[in-house]
Chains A and B, each alone.
Chain A
């Protein structure tokens, strides 16, 4: 169990090498990849998310934790695939058309990966048609859209309208976020959920995926 404790501690401290070594050693000691993921990585990222929500840590601390997590996941992922461990769900992520901001979106992506989700990050300035094509291709459970500008927020509604036209609206949960975005706005455009920050996004995506099952 020491390895797990170390993973949780090293990840929070942003010690990427430490996480990597402890993941390797945990696997060598006979722990299953799923156990290392659930008890180590996901637990640690949940703590990071909680602290971020409470303003105990800030963006830099989250970024170095996510970097450490990625280092560990590099070791863990092939083993998870071999063991046929399924992810918690697939999330398609992107900043909407006309908007080139990505730090918030990237944080959401990192926290989701840390929550055990498969994240397909489509980057910034993503057109509705691109979201739709990728959704069809990947059959993602959740579409997570970001906008930082009051002037690009309306594009989120446009994407939802296009989903409806394409008959995809019932097949995917839509979650939105970004500085000017509010819960009211999510209701208004009939998104399924609004996430206030990257840590809340993980909770919302979990709820969404559960409701799909």
Chain B
């Protein structure tokens, strides 16, 4: 047996066996920290807060530096692709907002006064009228080498640090891509009124993704471990679309994408899948599609009781997240309450392996540093 390091620890958890301690999964997609809170945390931990910089522009997340990750004993190293050549971030001044247009032609805005993230403002296919209009949309080359120029290095660094690499996605999943490109209300209606347009757009997104991951996985080589895809399919109380609609439009394409990823990976790749909200009804479908890890276990959403989920799906799925609720507990509880809630959640989710600790979502700007530290204390006490 090799000595336990972060990678073997995570591998053990992914294989549903109990590692020496629960792996800590920050730096995977949606397991980040808002830049404002990240600065406060660095200060609390005796690290230079000036060093903090933004990595995920849209969600305004801090780039988690090595000193910080060492300090909290994080087990994961996030791997990130780069923008394609020919596209550059350009921040425009638009009255009350900062604005930029991403590589897909989607416009995002952040209020100058008190804005904490960029949110979608405009969609390139908003006025599309036909399948032809959808077909006309062109993407930057998903296989552009510029995207993957330092991927091998990032994996090599993770290996050197004996950390577990998670290859994060460069955009939303295929369903999200369709909604973002076409506009939410338009795409939802297309699925009923213009199913041909909806299918064409989903196919386009799928093609982009398959090509992207082909090259990404080639660059990752034998070091690949976890591949992350994020595709929200649920809301706080329910699913965004009916199970039938999911099975007709999205499921076959999810399945195709995940099989493609597993097939293209040089060694075993675990599919990490993120959807916020009340996803329980579709977990059997996700398992069937080849999803290995579900993130986040949104404890505050309908029918997302950690204990029941573990009992029902714990054999087939690894839970990544669900360590502490981020809507109420982490920002608003007292540190003592945060610690207790953290321990309770771990008790519900961690037995027998199959659990990686992270909060339900990114640690937001309204979280006091003491609460984050109390969460870590609870986590450490359970190990």
The verdict on B242 contacting chain A, using a C-beta distance below 8 Å, is yes
A149 to B116, Cβ gap below 8 A? yes
Q: Which residue of A lies closest to B332 (CB)?
A: A150
Interface string of A51-85 (1 = CB under 8 A from B): 00001011111011001000000000000000000
Residues of A contacting B191 with CB < 8 Å?
60
B114 to A59, Cβ gap below 8 A? no
The segment out of A20-28, A97-105, A111-119 that lies at the interface is A97-105
A59 to B192, Cβ gap below 8 A? no
The segment out of B39-47, B233-241, B262-270 that lies at the interface is B233-241
A55 to B114, Cβ gap below 8 A? no
Min Cβ gap B269→A in Å is 32
Residues of B contacting A67 with CB < 8 Å?
189
Residues of B contacting A60 with CB < 8 Å?
188-189, 191-192, 241-242, 245
Contacting residue for B115 out of A59, A63, A64, A98, CB 8 A: A98
A58 to B241, Cβ gap below 8 A? yes
Interface string of B254-274 (1 = CB under 8 A from A): 000000000000000000000
B366 to A151, Cβ gap below 8 A? yes
B189 to A179, Cβ gap below 8 A? no
B237 to A61, Cβ gap below 8 A? no
A151 to B237, Cβ gap below 8 A? no
The verdict on B138 contacting chain A, using a C-beta distance below 8 Å, is no
A63 to B189, Cβ gap below 8 A? yes
Min Cβ gap B34→A in Å is 9
B237 to A106, Cβ gap below 8 A? no
Q: How far is the CA of A55 from the CA of B236 in the complex (A)?
A: 13
Q: Which residue of A lies closest to B193 (CB)?
A: A64
B119 to A101, Cβ gap below 8 A? yes
Interface string of B228-255 (1 = CB under 8 A from A): 0000000111111110010000000000
The verdict on B327 contacting chain A, using a C-beta distance below 8 Å, is yes
The verdict on B111 contacting chain A, using a C-beta distance below 8 Å, is yes
Interface residues of B in 323-363 (CB under 8 A from A): 326-328, 331
B238 to A58, Cβ gap below 8 A? yes
Interface residues of B in 56-98 (CB under 8 A from A): 96
A125/B111 contact (C-beta < 8 A), A149-B116, A151-B365 known: yes
Chain B interface residue count, CB cutoff 8 Å, equals 33
A151/B364 contact (C-beta < 8 A), A59-B241, A103-B184, A106-B185 known: yes
Residues of B contacting A149 with CB < 8 Å?
116
The verdict on B16 contacting chain A, using a C-beta distance below 8 Å, is no
B119 to A150, Cβ gap below 8 A? no
Min Cβ gap A191→B in Å is 17
Q: How far is the CA of A151 from the CA of B111 in the complex (A)?
A: 13
A64 to B331, Cβ gap below 8 A? no
Min Cβ gap A155→B in Å is 9
Residues of B contacting A150 with CB < 8 Å?
326-328, 331, 364, 366
B237 to A197, Cβ gap below 8 A? yes
Q: How far is the CA of A59 from the CA of B237 in the complex (A)?
A: 12
Q: Which residue of B lies closest to A62 (CB)?
A: B188
A125/B240 contact (C-beta < 8 A), A98-B115, A103-B185, A150-B366 known: no
Contacting residue for A63 out of B185, B238, B365, CB 8 A: B185
The verdict on A43 contacting chain B, using a C-beta distance below 8 Å, is no
The verdict on B109 contacting chain A, using a C-beta distance below 8 Å, is yes
Q: How far is the CA of A179 from the CA of B300 in the complex (A)?
A: 10
The verdict on B121 contacting chain A, using a C-beta distance below 8 Å, is yes
Residues of A contacting B365 with CB < 8 Å?
151
Interface string of B216-237 (1 = CB under 8 A from A): 0000000000000000000111
B interface residues, Cβ below 8 angstroms from A: 96, 109, 111, 113-116, 119-121, 184-185, 188-189, 191-193, 235-242, 245, 326-328, 331, 364-366
Rank and list the top 5 A-B pairs by shortest CB-CB distance, nearest first.
A100-B119, A60-B188, A179-B236, A180-B327, A58-B242
17 contacting pairs across A/B (C-beta < 8 A): A14-B193, A55-B238, A55-B239, A58-B238, A58-B245, A59-B188, A60-B191, A60-B242, A61-B242, A64-B189, A98-B113, A125-B111, A150-B326, A150-B328, A150-B366, A179-B235, A179-B236
A interface residues, Cβ below 8 angstroms from B: 14, 55, 57-61, 63-64, 67, 97-101, 103, 106, 125, 149-151, 179-180, 196-197
